[in-house]
Structures are given as C-alpha cells and as structure tokens.
Amino acid sequence: MAGKAVISLTTGLEDPERVTVAFLVALGAAEQGRPTLMFLTKEATRLVTEGVATGVACEGCPPLADLVARYAAAGGKYMVCPICFDSRKLDKSTLIDNAELGGTVPMWQWIGDEGATTFSY
C-alpha cells in the first residue's frame, strides 16, 4: 500500500488558486492509490458544504467542482475542524458525503504510527 498523504488547507474561495493547488496535490495522491486526507481549517471548512466549491480559479485551471468529484471518486476524505466549522455557524447537514467533523486528535489517529507525507496550504 502506498503511504498516506495529508493536505492541510486553511484558505477558502478568497484565494481560489491556492485552493486549486491544494486539491490538485490531494487528487494526485488519491488517484495514485494513497490513502488521502484533506484537513480543513479556517475558511477552508466552507469548501465541503454542498454547492460551495464551484468556479474556476484561473484561465486554464480545472473547475473546482470537477476536482471535488474526482477526489471523491478516488476515495479521498476530508476532516473538518469542528471549532472552525461551528464558529462560522455552518450547518452539519450540508457536509458532502466524504467529509466529517474531526479535530487534531482524530487526524493523528487517522495518520497512525506509519506516518504520512504532508503538505500545507
């Protein structure tokens, strides 16, 4: 089994190019068969509520909705900081299927003893 990958993202649609890069890195790992987790904090927590991750960041960039769909199809998962999510008064019922609320302890439990390659955006 390929090693795990964790991509930490703090930025939301206020910086769509950064979001696109983070999704491309996560997607690359997931499509190569790595167990992949995106850990979303701050404004990034909005990205995994229904209908938010839309649009195109730049000319030639893939649409965010396509990246989200491909990431799900590759088995990618999201762990969403519950403090950040709740402080924005977001609705848990709008989370997309492969997203769950979980903080740093569940993230470390997911990583486990074998470790993970990490990226931060």
92 lies in some domain: yes
CB 120 within 8 A of CB 22: no
121 lies in some domain: no
120 lies in some domain: no
Measured CA to CA in angstroms, residue 95 lies from 21, 26, 61, 78, 103 at distances of 22, 19, 25, 10, 16
Instruction: State the total domains in the chain.
Output: 1
What CATH number should be reported for the domain holding residue 23? 3.40.1260.10
66 lies in some domain: yes
CA contacts within 13 A on the Cβ side of 68: 20
Q: Please give the Cα distance from 7 to 5 (Å, whole number).
A: 7
In residues, how long is the chain?
Answer: 121
- CA-wise closest residue to 71 among 115, 14, 111, 31: 31
86 lies in some domain: yes
Query: What is this structure's pTM?
Result: 0.94
In the predicted model, is pLDDT for residue 44 greater than 70? Answer: yes
Model confidence pLDDT, tens digit, residues 69-109: 999 999 999 999 999 999 999 999 999 999 999 999 999 99
- CA-wise closest residue to 12 among 48, 52, 56, 44: 44
43 lies in some domain: yes
Mean pLDDT for the chain?
96
55 lies in some domain: yes
Range of the domain at 69: 5-112
